[in-house]
């Protein structure tokens, strides 16, 4: 036997203590009454029958409380096979890990800010299945669709520019890799979130977005970086900035590519604010926009689960409490005797 809420057993164990205190207070009260009531009147005002009824009522109340607290602890024993069904969406997060994502116009840098926001998004997934794709010159699936959000977080923590092959950033490859991770039979419940600074050196994003649109899969794009001012990129050695022909390479957020992808796929483009507010975190974006994607009921495999047995204690507990109420000294409303009737 095991309990879902074992701490409720503490209350059940205190029921006998309540009974002892109750009896002590009752005994003390009767002793005081016997001191102030004349001996020849005690049989009338302190009859033994009333004491017996009180004891029975108290025993029923205590038994009822013990059973109810035991039931509240949710005892379980034995096992049964259960088919677990849940409604969920399928979400692929495509994260740009090109070196331009190391720019520091967003603190500490674009990539780390994106990873922090994805962690916030994971907290909002609830039962939704999620996959993680990273991309540079091509797309790489770091984590397939899963409800194991701990595994997803582990894959996210390891994402870096070395997670995908070097070369010109190809946003189209990211979309195609994300589409391959989604089951076409569930496209009504599939969606993609693409997070990037917008640099698409291969210029194949529009064509890939049309492939997603043909499957009715929205691609929500999230832009990260400063669109107004360029920012330098750390070099590979980490002791300076990346240069081209003797000049520092600068990068800024390119909205056009991301807006076009969202438009083609009937989704939304959302730029993450550089300061970071509660309204522009990925979790907030997910709750605002992605909830429009329909849910799919998924039948998981049979699981061997402990059988709930709280009903065996809940029903007797209620019966004991109701029985105690029937021993109450109160009366049901009805015709009351008049003083003349009492004297007749």
List CB contacts of 261: < 8 A, sequence separation 6 or more.
171, 175, 194, 205, 206, 209, 219, 221, 267, 269
Full-model pTM = 0.60
Question: Do 220 and 270 form a contact (C-beta atoms < 8 A)?
Answer: yes
Q: Tell me: the pLDDT tens digits for 79-131? A: 666 555 455 678 999 999 998 999 888 888 999 989 988 988 888 777 788 99
Nearest Cα neighbor of 127 from 306, 304, 300, 303 is 300
Which pair of structure tokens corresponds to residue 339? Answer: 């003083």
DSSP 335: P
Residue 297: phi, psi to the nearest 5? Answer: -80, 125
Q: Which residues contact 262 (CB under 8 A, 6 or more apart)?
A: 218, 219, 220, 221, 268, 269
Q: How confident is the model at residue 305 (pLDDT cuts 50, 70, 90)?
A: low
pLDDT of residue 273: 58
pLDDT in tens, 210-264: 999 999 999 999 998 888 877 888 887 666 777 776 778 888 888 899 999 999 9
pLDDT exceeding 90 applies to what percent of the chain?
A: 26
d(CA 278, CA 270): 14
Give the mean pLDDT of the chain: 80
pLDDT attached to residue 290:
60
Do the Cβ atoms of 273 and 280 come closer than 8 Å? Answer: yes
Tell the CATH topology of 85-299: Rossmann fold (3.40.50)
């Amino acid at each position: 036997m095991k309990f879902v809420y074992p701490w409720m057993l503490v209350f059940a164990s205190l029921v006998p203590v309540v009974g002892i205190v109750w009896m002590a207070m009752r005994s003390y009260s009767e002793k005081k009454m016997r001191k102030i009531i004349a001996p020849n009147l005690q049989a009338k005002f302190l009859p033994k029958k009333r004491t017996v009824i009180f004891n029975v009522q108290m025993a029923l109340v205590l038994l009822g409380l013990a059973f109810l607290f035991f039931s509240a602890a949710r005892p379980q024993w034995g096992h049964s096979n259960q088919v677990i069904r849940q409604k969920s969406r399928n979400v692929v997060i495509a994260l740009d890990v090109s070196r331009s994502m190391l720019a520091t116009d967003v603190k500490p840098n674009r990539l780390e800010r994106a990873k922090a926001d994805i962690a916030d998004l994971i907290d909002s997934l609830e039962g939704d299945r999620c996959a993680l794709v990273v991309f540079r010159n091509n797309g790489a699936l770091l984590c397939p669709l899963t409800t194991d959000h701990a595994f997803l977080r582990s894959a996210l923590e390891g994402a870096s520019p070395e997670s995908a092959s070097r070369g010109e950033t190809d946003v189209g490859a990211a979309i195609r890799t994300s589409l391959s991770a989604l089951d076409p039979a569930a496209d009504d419940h599939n969606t993609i979130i693409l997070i990037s600074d917008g640099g698409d050196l291969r210029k194949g994003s529009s064509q890939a977005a049309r492939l997603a649109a043909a499957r009715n899969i929205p691609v929500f794009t999230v832009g990260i970086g400063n669109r107004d001012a360029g920012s330098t990129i750390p070099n590979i050695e980490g002791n300076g900035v990346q240069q081209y022909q003797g000049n520092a390479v600068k990068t800024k957020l390119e909205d056009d590519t991301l807006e076009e992808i969202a438009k083609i796929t009937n989704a939304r483009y959302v730029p993450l604010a550089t300061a970071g507010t509660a309204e522009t975190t990925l979790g907030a974006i997910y709750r605002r926009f992605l909830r429009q994607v329909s849910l799919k009921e998924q039948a998981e495999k049979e699981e061997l689960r402990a059988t709930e047995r709280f009903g065996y204690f809940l029903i007797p507990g209620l019966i004991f409490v109701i029985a105690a109420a029937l021993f109450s000294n109160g009366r049901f409303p009805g015709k009351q005797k008049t003083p003349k009737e009492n004297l007749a």
